[in-house]
Structure 1
Amino acid sequence: MLCFTACGSAQKDDETEYNESAIEQTTEFMIQYCTNADEAMRKEFRNMKELKLDFQLMQSGIPITAESFLGALNAWEAAEEECGEYKSHGDFTSEITNEGYKLSANAKFADREATISFIFDDKSYMESMTVDAKYSMGEILAKAGMNTVLGMGTVFVVLIFISFLISQFKVIPALFGSKKKEEPASAPVVSGPSSVLETVETQETDDTELIAVIAAAIAAAREEAGMDEACAGGFFVRSIRRRPANKWKA
């Protein structure tokens, strides 16, 4: 079925009758108009409403729509910027393609040559106009090399930038005002049981004479109470501790 459809569309294109005289008239009109139109006229047509422009083109008898007309103006303006001022063109050659009836001719501009192409539909209305500049092999290779250099250069620049960012990950927090690490404060000295014992032991070593006196007084009191010498001799004073103050009130 696809083969039959393709054959049917091809037969339809072959049977389509194009108004060649109207097509040639349209192509010549567009080339002459685009060549002679100045910037003010092009701006006026661009600012004109599409319906009004369609009406003026219909009155002129040129089979072209407003959209195709403005597209042709833009294509010709871009061609003049790229190829220079228009000089002349050769004979047109015609062919029927899938897009429609195509006319093309070689044209000479001030800086380089180009190919002007027109496409018409089955009603002989112009659909588009293109101007393709011709470049030499050296210019093509130069452009290809320039594109390659720009592409690879952009990639390497981006990679270098990413590597630089990664290497600065340790510095970035400091740039955003991260707090400096405070030095740990020295721990306060807390007086615990060990310090109390050390104080008591120091006091005990310093009170040797007081211990001797108290021991002698206790021994004398035991003798007066009638304790034997064995019990008295078995008593030794090893340490003296201060008794806490009495908190009871009379």
Structure 2
Amino acid sequence: MLVAVLCFTGCSNSGNELKYDKSSIKESTEFLINYCQSADDATIQQWEDMDDFNLEYQLMQSGLPYTADGFTSALESWQSGIKECGAYVSHGDFKYETSKDELKVTTAAKFKDRDATLTFVYNQKLKLESMTVDGKYSMGEVLEKAGLNTVLGMGTVFVVLIFISLIISLFRFIPALEEAWKNRGKKSAKEAEAVVVEEATQSASAEAEDVTDDTELVAVIAAAIAEYEGTGTDGFVVRSIRRRPSNKWNA
């Protein structure tokens, strides 16, 4: 019974796998590799500047089983792979892996600087969705890259922590600044009050000086009042002299 169950399970999985024509998939994959190898920067830029409708139309007219996004992303991935691995040299046989909704085609490729793995993914309609170029690094290169990433990450963390510590250390100046800002208004009011008092004092001093210095004017006024009243000048004293707001004399 267990053997029968396993057999039925295997039949069920194989029946759900995506059906494809190996020769046509190989032909379209080979064409894409050759096109990416021969396309220059101007041609790639022309494809990237084209809108989705025209791009889909061009691919449909040529009979190529590529989606618009899959084709442009394949061109970009190839250019990135060239920068990482060097110029393309050759590739080996294709390996096919299927599931119920996609087909994955892989092959080992040789580039000038390092080897790489080319991976092509076709969707359920057997149209190319993506292509990637994965460079193969030695253990030393992997460790060096990992160490560099670790140092860079830790350095960034320490820089951020130092910056946060500096900001926190400045918090102790906030109460003093707040107190100074509060006392600023009080200080201005006190200064204004002091200025008013000083001006009043100067005004009073000026009036006193005017009375003291104008002795002749005081004597003349005192004599005039004494003559008007018919008395002597000993009965009163002129303490201050002020100008009236109006020049008219009141009776």
1:10 pairs, out of 10, 13, 33, with 13
CA RMSD of aligned residues (A): 2.9
Distance 1:179 1:66 in 2: 64
Distance 1:18 1:122 in 2: 10
Percentage identity across aligned positions?
50
- 1:100-115 alignment runs, 5 A limit: 100-115=102-117
Distance 1:175 1:10 in 2: 75
* TM-score after normalising by structure 2: 0.63
CA offset digits 1:14-55 (Å, max 9, x no partner): 3x4211111011111110111111111111111112111112
CA contact (8 A) 2:73 2:131 kept: yes
1:37: which partner in 2?
39
Residue 139 of structure 1 and its aligned partner are, at CA, apart by 1.0
1:64: which partner in 2?
66
Residue 127 of structure 1 and its aligned partner are, at CA, apart by 2.0
- 1:194-205 alignment runs, 5 A limit: none
2:133 pairs, out of 112, 118, 131, with 131
Measured at CA, do residues 105 and 163 of structure 1 come closer, stay the same or move farther in structure 2, by a change above 3 Å? same
Residue 122 of structure 1 and its aligned partner are, at CA, apart by 3.8
Higher gyration radius (CA): 1
2:80 pairs, out of 63, 78, 81, with 78
1:116: which partner in 2?
118
CA contact (8 A) 2:121 2:130 kept: yes
CA offset digits 1:60-84 (Å, max 9, x no partner): 1211121211111111111112112
Distance 2:34 2:169 in 1: 63
Distance 1:172 1:18 in 2: 72
CA offset digits 1:159-202 (Å, max 9, x no partner): 112222222223467789944968999xxxxxxxxxxxxxxxxx
Gapped regions of structure 1 (runs ≥ 5): 1-5, 186-250
> What SS does the corresponding residue of 1:135 show, helix, strand or coil?
coil
Residue 7 of structure 1 and its aligned partner are, at CA, apart by 7.5
Aligned residues: 180
* TM-score after normalising by structure 1: 0.63
Measured at CA, do residues 137 and 26 of structure 1 come closer, stay the same or move farther in structure 2, by a change above 3 Å? same
Measured at CA, do residues 139 and 172 of structure 1 come closer, stay the same or move farther in structure 2, by a change above 3 Å? farther
Gapped regions of structure 2 (runs ≥ 5): 1-8, 191-251
1:89: which partner in 2?
91
Letter aligned with residue 152 of structure 1 = M
Distance 1:99 1:136 in 2: 34
Measured at CA, do residues 78 and 177 of structure 1 come closer, stay the same or move farther in structure 2, by a change above 3 Å? farther
Measured at CA, do residues 13 and 164 of structure 1 come closer, stay the same or move farther in structure 2, by a change above 3 Å? same
